[in-house]
Structure 1
Amino acid sequence: MPTADELLSADIVRDLADCLAAANGGTPTGQLRRCGALLAGLTFSGRVTAVKEAILADLPDAYPDFAEVVRAALKDPGFTGWMIFPVTEAVAERGLEVFEPALGLLAELTPCLTAETAIRHFLRTDLHRALRTIEEWTSHADPHVRRLASEGTRPRLPWAPQLRALIADPAPALPVLDELYRDESEYVRRSVANHLNDISRDHPAIAVATAARWLDDPAPTTSGLVRHGLRTLVKAGDPDALALLGHDPDVPVSVEGPHVRTPAIRIGDHLEFDYAVTNTGDRTAHVVIDYVIHHMKANGTRTPKVFKLTTRALAPGERWTGTRRHSLKAITTRRYHPGLHHVQIQVNGRPHGEAPFTLDLPAE
């Protein structure tokens, strides 16, 4: 993952200052130029805030004049990339009182870098007023703007403030998704699937019902979109989601394993195990095969995490075998603790078998 300095460096801020100065008729952008030298040691969010405040200090106070400078900068090919992030935040702060015109400016900026975080200020201020404008974007010619409609309204968009109103009730944003689930752009459809997955975390029944409605009036791509959008429910073994996708939780199968090849490993190594799944029924079995690692926590308890193996159709009597090599390298989003762990196979949401392995600290 890029560092904060790689995303928003002093050089990028200097280039932004040049773009905005030229767009503002050569008016100096002194605050921005000084700001670039003060970014060392700041997180990405800290850098965004600092640069946003400098933009607001350098550009006109009145929103129409402010927006005119930003639109003039959009004509510059160099006005693009991560320098746009603090610009969208500045638009949100200065334009919140004018609302619809500022949302329109964010739509103009989003092809340069998505404004999905900035529009959340408007959604949190007046959800239904913002959605009236955002719904219009679903028919926009630019896929970046159409994606903004779906991505910006995600209840649990990563690295962005949550939309608590839509976490409590996702219904107001569903018309946006209804217009976009058959979009010609995979970029847009991927966002719709991720939005549906967000909904599934808090309202499984609404997510499944929405997916079922789309499958009743599908495009050729709808089945794949729904499968991706319900992935969290499938991993959790939700029976309604599994049934909608044609996977019976009570499918007749026998499972061998997991047979752990690496019973004692260190953090940074790989867990290896074998498994086999056989269809013991007299009909084709549509199976989602996952594995679950029960990680040791600092307090001595274990917490499960589901990982995907494969999705297959097994003929009667057919046996599927596989080997998985799972990295236990330390990453920023997961901390490993030494001790006894377990791995299980999961078929259509139902656990089968269990095997232990010991995780130890790396060698000195």
Structure 2
Amino acid sequence: MAEPLINNYGPEIPRQIADQIKAVDASFQDQAFIKTALIGYEKLSLMERGQQIAKSLETYLPADYEEAIGILVASMGPRLERDMGNGMAPFIYLPHSFYIANYGLNHFEASMQAIYQLTKRFTGEFCIRPFLEQHTQATLERLHLWAEDECHYVRRLASEGPRPRLPWASHLPAFKKDPSPVLALLEKLKDDPELYVRRSVANNLNDIGKDHPKLLLATTKSWLKGADKNRLWLIRHALRSLVKQSHPKALEQLGYGQTPQVEITQVSFTPKTIKLGEAVELSFELHSKSKQAQKLLIDFCVYFVKANATSSGKVFKLKTLTLPGNSAEILKKKISFAKINTRKHYPGEHLVELLINGKSHPLGSFLVHI
């Protein structure tokens, strides 16, 4: 199980920030800042820690915001060298993001310049959202400029910042109601050369589809025209939530609209009974009942038992394949009941079904006990 992020966000964080600021502003009261930032620190959540450090920055940086943000930007280290695999290192700038969001709304240009620099080192997606709400048109105009920036971290912000349902952030009600301003940005970014940017575009579209599935499908349908392999990947990723819901038009767009002609045999759960924390292996044979090759998208749904003894289904990807006519393939998948942060497991009978091109095929069940 992955270690909680907060475990790597201890008292050393405000101390590191203090050292960075002291290096560019000798008058900064670093010890007083650290002492204030660490009041009750151990009891706070990750985001609460970031907010408390930001409040302490406001106390000990100059009262003039534009002077203060200049010092804060000057104190930041070099830009990121890679998109992924940076661990918790960029999170040292989480308080900087909160500082801009909390205290910079009346200083638009200075804040935009700070966000521009911040997103090259961490992300500006959290702090730009209050500007989208209070300075909507001006911020959208800036994002259109950034969508053409030479730095792909800046271009990514043009997509990630206005996501209607951004994780870890408050939703943007105006864009949930009318996502057309967001789609105008995504049009500029759909063929970005960087996967990091295209992934954000896909995630943004997936957000939009949760409120406007017809609009998402209309967008992806238009984007399919002349699509290369990179845009096809983006479209598949954008449609993932609708695919999990077995939405027929989403499956059709991806080439999985045909009704599968298959038979499922030799279904097994090994072992049939497991304890919480263990895993069960699902295995079955998929037989083609057609003389023609079939393009199949295969997911499976586990109906997890909840605390009140009812069950709730969760869909997982299994495989996409082209099954030759009159052929068979053995498929296997492990279903883990290890402890995770996002779901609590409970004992009981767990039903499983396959979803092949959106069509349900019950497989049976296995037992989980304490």
Fold shared by both chains (TM-score > 0.5): yes
Q: How far, CA to CA, are the matches of 2:130 and 2:8 in structure 1? A: 22
1:20 deviation in Å? 1.4
The residue number in structure 2 matching 1:245 is: 254
Please tell me whether the aligned partners of residues 249 and 347 of structure 1 are also in contact (alpha carbons under 8 angstroms): no
Distance apart, 1:31 and its partner CA: 4.2
**Per-residue CA shift, 1:100-132, capped at 9, x if unaligned?**
431231111111111211111212334333222
Equivalent residue for 1:59, pick from 43, 58, 61:
61
Q: What amino acid is aligned across from residue 22 of structure 1 in structure 2? A: A
Say whether 1:202 aligns with 2:211. Answer: yes
2:189–2:197 CA contact under 8 A, matched in 1 = yes
Residue 191 (structure 2) pairs with residue 182 (structure 1): yes
TM-score (norm 1): 0.92
Give the conservation status (yes or no) of the 8 Å contact 2:147–2:185: yes
Q: Is the partner of 1:40 in helix, strand or coil?
A: helix
Partner of 1:198, secondary structure, is helix
Q: Does 1:73 align with 2:75?
A: yes
Deviations 1:54-100 (A, max 9, x none): 1111112222212221232236789x722211012101222111224
How far did residue 336 of structure 1 move? 1.4
Alignment partners' CA distance in 2, 1:18 and 1:309? 49
Tell whether 2:50 aligns with 1:42: no
Tell me the distance in 2 between the aligned counterparts of 1:282 and 1:200.
36
Counterpart of 1:224 in structure 2 is: 233
The aligned residue for residue 306 of structure 1 is 315
CA contact (8 A) 2:78 2:121 kept: no
2:108 corresponds, among 99, 115, 121, to: 99
Displacement after TM superposition at 1:292 (Å): 0.7
Alpha-carbon distance in structure 1 between the residues aligned to 2:28 and 2:279: 57
Q: CA deviation at 1:248?
A: 1.5
What is the alpha-carbon distance in structure 2 between the residues aligned to residue 155 and residue 104 of structure 1? 23
Please state if 1:118 is matched with 2:120: no
Of the three residues 155, 160, 167, the one matched with 1:158 is 167
Whole-angstrom distance in 2 between the partners of 1:170 and 1:271: 42
- Unmatched runs of 5 consecutive residues or more in structure 2: 81-88
In the TM superposition, what are the counterparts of 1:286-305 in structure 2 within 5 Å? Answer: 286-305=295-314
Q: 2:176 is matched by which residue type in structure 1?
A: I
2:188 maps to amino acid: E
Query: How many residue pairs align between the two structures?
Result: 360
CA distance in 2, matches of 1:75, 1:311: 44
Q: 1:75 to 1:12 in 2, by over 3 A?
A: closer
Please state whether the residue corresponding to 1:305 is helix, strand or coil. Answer: strand
Secondary structure at 2:56 match in 1 = helix
Contact 1:254/1:278 (8 A) holds in 2: yes
| Match 1:90 to one of 80, 88, 99 | 99
CA deviation vs aligned residue, 1:35-56 (integer Å, no higher than 9, x gap): 3433222111110111000111
SS at match of 1:326: strand
CA positional deviation for 1:30: 4.5
Whether contact under 8 Å (2:79, 2:121) holds in the other structure is no
CA contact (8 A) 1:31 1:54 kept: no
Task: State the SS of the aligned residue for 1:184.
Answer: coil
Give the Å deviation of 1:269: 0.9
CA change 1:276–1:168 in 2 (3 A) is: farther
Which deviates further from its counterpart, 156-165 or 131-140?
156-165
Preserved CA contact (<8 Å) 1:256 1:353: no
Q: What is the distance in 1 between the residues matched to 2:201 and 2:57?
A: 33
Distance 1:44 1:281, change over 3 A: same
Matched residue SS, 1:353: strand
Cα deviation for residue 241 of structure 1 reads 0.6
The equivalent residue for 1:327 is 336
Q: For structure 1, which segment, 327-336 or 125-134, has the greater mean C-alpha deviation from structure 2 after superposition?
A: 125-134
CA distance in structure 2 between the partners assigned to 1:280 and 1:292 by the alignment: 23
Change (3 A) 1:187 1:69: same
TM-score w.r.t. the length of structure 2 is 0.91
* Per-residue CA distance 1:18-42 (angstroms, 9 max, x = gap): 2112323433234422134332221
Partner of 2:229, secondary structure, is: coil
2:312 pairs with 1:316: no
1:234-289: CA deviations, max 9, x gaps? 12101111000000252322233643232211111112221222332343211111
Q: Helix, strand or coil for the counterpart of 1:106?
A: helix
- Partner SS state of residue 116, structure 2: helix
> Which stretch of structure 1 is more off in the superposition, 47-56 or 198-207?
198-207
Question: What does residue 84 of structure 2 align with?
Answer: none
The farther-off stretch of 85-94 and 253-262 is 253-262
Q: Secondary structure at the match of 2:333?
A: strand
CA contact (8 A) 2:144 2:185 kept: yes
1:269, 1:327 within 8 Å by CA — same for their partners in 2? yes
More off after superposition, 203-212 vs 250-259: 250-259
Q: In the alignment, is the contact (CA less than 8 A) between 1:19 and 1:76 conserved in 2? A: no
Please name the residue that 2:117 is paired with.
Answer: 108
Secondary structure, aligned partner of 2:224 = helix
State the shift of 1:196 in Å.
1.5
User: Which residue does 2:9 correspond to in 1?
Assistant: 8
1:284-339 alpha-carbon deviations (Å, 9 max, x no partner): 21111111101112222211101111001112222221121111112111111211
Q: CA deviation at 1:353?
A: 2.2
Q: Is the 2:104–2:111 Cα contact (8 Å) retained in structure 1?
A: yes
